[in-house]
Structure 1
Amino acid sequence: MELRDYGTALRRYWATWAAIALTGLFVALVVVLAVRPTYTTTAQVFVASSGDGTSGSQFVSQRVTTYPDVARSQTVLGPVIDELSLDESVTDLRARVAAVNPPDTSQVDVSVTDEDPARAAAVANAVAERFSTAVEDLEERQDGVSPVDLTVTDPATVPSSPVFPVPGLVLGLGLFVGLTLGAAVAVLRSRADTRLHTVDDVRTAWGAGGDELTVHAVAARRSRRRRGTGRPVAMLARQLEPVDDDGSVRAVVLAASPDESQAAHDLVTALATELVDGGTPVVVAEPGEDAAAPVLPAGARLTVASASAPAREWRRLARENDGAVLVVTAGRTEAADLREARSLLAAVGAGLFSVVLLPSRRTGRAASGDTTPARPAVPAADERVPAGP
């Protein structure tokens, strides 16, 4: 797919895209409202050498990287639980305690996460103090002197904002995920959609010769402009101007999809109105009506046919008409229906004037071609409207 195809998919399935995006935003909002906030605070412990000279500094540099594990040990956390009367096990507390030695430093940062910000600060400071004592005891030599001296240089403070959930971050993430998933679903739906939406879809579904196929695309009501000679229905009317030696033209109008027969009737009404406006008398024949005799002097005869009609009827229509106009309803006609209609016309030897791509009837009158309502039907067969003044 090209970039243009992705844009088309997103426009075509914007409702799916928007619905999934809003769902992602709603889930994020539920998380913000339902999840209890958690707070994190950190106490900083500085490790120094208690001796003189560079050997002490080297000793600290070598040993400080092993101290974070001590901060999360039973030796430290057990006494903290007893001191603060915490109602949890060492394992539970260990899951909320983190200790790290920042690279190229002689310090250990002890962090605690809790739903209560005050308790988080109390636990972090208690762990830092107990950790300092435990390390000094572990490093104590036989002479009773410890080569390291640990000091809580930056006690933990009560945090004022939670680390999770952060409303702005969670809502933004939910919207981003929703938009991404929505776009993916829209593209997948577009790839799986076998309906015809655009002129390119019609040409592709037609198969061989689709590039030379004449397709008139009628815009939806909201995008139609004022009447003019460039309108698709007007262009089709010019294409159907009488071409026979007797000054008449006969065309059969067929909806590619059996479920869209009303679209063919709507097109015939708009087309007949356009032809009459141009001074061409028109007769709209009912299906099955004999069309062997000349219709009108210099006139047009339009017949609405059904793809489900018997083969015998279609052979008669092919003989009695100069060609067919195939009607496709955007977003409702399947590609298979168009190919089947093409096979039908080819089987009976019927020519094709053009394909008319109509907007879905949900957007307004399918083939009116402008914002004004179509005028009443066309002259009856016995009214014999003259071709000109």
Structure 2
Amino acid sequence: MELTDYIRILRKNWIIILVATALGLALAALFTWTRTPVYQAQSTVFVSTQAGGTVAEMQQGQNFTQSRVTTYANLVTTPIVMNPVIAQLDLETTASRLATSISASSPLNTTLITITVEDTDALRAAEIANALAASLTNAVESIETPNDSDTSPVRLTRVKDALPPLAPSSPNPPLNLVLGGLIGLALGIGIAVLRAVLDTRVRTPQDVEVVTDAPLIGAIAFDPKAKDRPLIVHADPLSPRAESFRALRTNLQFLDMGGRSSFVVTSSVPSEGKSTTTINLAIALADAGKKVALLDTDLRKPKVAEYLGIEGGAGLTDVLIGRVRVGDVMLPWGDRSLYVLPAGKIPPNPSELLGSTQMASLLEVLERDFDVVLCDAPPLLPVTDAAILARATSGALVVVSAGRTNRHQLSGAIDALQTVGAKVAGVVLSMVPTRGPDAYAYSYGYGYGGTGHYGYTQTRAARKGRAAKAAAAPKAPSETAGL
């Protein structure tokens, strides 16, 4: 993943990251609040030897002291030093238990021993540290005193007495809160990245490129009112979603389909917006002066006639079984050079009809009479209708709902087309959000002509142009007699 992908993941999952960070802070605060304060007191002793007055004797004594100081530091946690302290301070504990709260250290190249004591009582911690320093002094002098002498060549002097600390050494609220926040933040980012890795839904053009080499020729902006105004190019031509269809129209015209111009518009699964995409694309092409034939080849759940508000009782199925001629049931729509062939009655054998020689002949004739032929077909994964039909056209346009269709479904749809030898002309992302981390770039330029006189003039001029084209165009493809 690139840096932009990580930024998108963070933007998309900022709530999870914020909650995880807050949770880390809360747990750190709870941990700090429930811990018993521990106080730390330190006393320091200096180790020296009773050396002679010459420089050599003093150097020898210094070397002897440094070689023994680590041993003396280790004596602090032994019973010989701690038992007198326990008895002196009347501590209700044992030497082994007391040793867990005591440590002794000696800085490198020094003869100082620092005794550190941790206790829940500040005064007791200081008392134990001072008592240990005194007990260590006695123990070392006793051990180092030769049998034939009354004095020890080693002397321990307490150079720093332990004082009762004013504040506990642990817990450390600021440190705990910082660590808790950092751990929560790291956990939140980890969850966000894991969600992104495990999420196989197609959201961006990069997700499409992972599945197929087919070009992404369009990204249709999401419209929350799409159900109320499915024909957005006709109802609101200045909206971002309508602009998306015009961009799709432009990209479609640049596809090299070997001189043919018939397309099957399908999807992986239902409810991805393939029917509205087909219809709006057909209207956009007709607005650009193209002569367009729109066929409802979804012989299972036809929607074109319903969306366009035309009679759909007779249509494609009647033409394929030879009951009527195509010119009798192919209807002009609006003031555009757009002709619509409804699905007609739902047959018991849709796949057989769409794969018949009559269907291939019909497509061949329509390609000759129209600039563009668009076929609204069923989804690819539930049924094979679209794959069979795509083989007889110049290619298939696969509509993918952003954020709903996963990569496995898209891959299955592409495989279904390639298995029958159909060409995938391109992929169209639908329902792409215009805001948020998954947004596609739509917003620029939409203010031009939106509310002012320019927009009104352009719209009126476009309508006049479409009316003139419709008047000059033939009313129906009457030359397709016999179909």
| TM beyond 0.5 | yes
Counterpart CA distance in 2 for 1:305 and 1:345 is: 13
Change in 2 beyond 3 A, CA 1:39/1:278: farther
TM-score, normalised to structure 1, is 0.76
Counterpart CA distance in 1 for 2:64 and 2:112 is: 14
Alignment of 1:289-304 (within 5 A): 290=316, 293=326, 295=330, 296=332, 298-299=337-338, 303=376
Q: Post-superposition shift, 1:112?
A: 0.4
Note if contact 1:281-1:386 (Cα within 8 Å) is conserved in structure 2: no
Deviations 1:288-347 (A, max 9, x none): 25186364483265625222564357535764x664331112232122211221233334
Equivalent residue for 2:123, pick from 98, 112, 118: 118
Q: Post-superposition shift, 1:280?
A: 7.0
Counterpart CA distance in 2 for 1:156 and 1:325 is: 83
Alignment of 1:191-340 (within 5 A): 191-206=197-212, 210=213, 213-218=215-220, 227=239, 231-239=243-251, 251-256=263-268, 258=269, 260-268=270-278, 271=281, 274=284, 285=296, 287-288=298-299, 290=316, 293=326, 295=330, 296=332, 298-299=337-338, 303=376, 305-308=378-381, 310-311=383-384, 315-316=388-389, 319=392, 323-340=395-412
What's 2:89 paired with? 84
**Ranges in structure 2 where 5+ consecutive residues have no aligned partner:** 225-237, 300-314, 320-325, 340-373, 448-465, 472-483
Q: Aligned partner of 2:177: which letter? A: L
Note if contact 2:220-2:431 (Cα within 8 Å) is conserved in structure 1: yes
Counterpart CA distance in 2 for 1:84 and 1:190 is: 62
Name the stretch that deviates more: 265-274 or 80-89. 265-274
Counterpart CA distance in 1 for 2:223 and 2:82 is: 73
Change in 2 beyond 3 A, CA 1:80/1:387: farther
What's 2:108 paired with? 103
TM-score, normalised to structure 2, is 0.63
Larger Rg, first or second structure (1 or 2): 2
Note if contact 1:299-1:387 (Cα within 8 Å) is conserved in structure 2: no
Counterpart CA distance in 2 for 1:15 and 1:270 is: 37
Equivalent residue for 2:69, pick from 64, 71, 96: 64
Counterpart CA distance in 1 for 2:435 and 2:4 is: 24
Q: Aligned partner of 1:24: which letter? A: G
Name the stretch that deviates more: 213-222 or 335-344. 213-222
Q: Aligned partner of 1:38: which letter? A: V
Q: Post-superposition shift, 1:239?
A: 4.7
Q: Post-superposition shift, 1:75?
A: 1.4
Counterpart CA distance in 2 for 1:263 and 1:219 is: 11
Equivalent residue for 1:94, pick from 99, 109, 125: 99
Q: Post-superposition shift, 1:123?
A: 1.3
Is it true that 1:355 corresponds to 2:427 in the alignment? yes
Change in 2 beyond 3 A, CA 1:221/1:25: farther
Change in 2 beyond 3 A, CA 1:356/1:42: same
Deviations 1:122-164 (A, max 9, x none): 2111111221222122222332112122221111122233332
Counterpart CA distance in 2 for 1:117 and 1:271 is: 81
Note if contact 1:281-1:385 (Cα within 8 Å) is conserved in structure 2: no
Q: Aligned partner of 1:261: which letter? A: S
Give the aligned length.
363
**Ranges in structure 1 where 5+ consecutive residues have no aligned partner:** 373-383
Paired-residue identity, %: 30
Note if contact 2:262-2:395 (Cα within 8 Å) is conserved in structure 1: yes
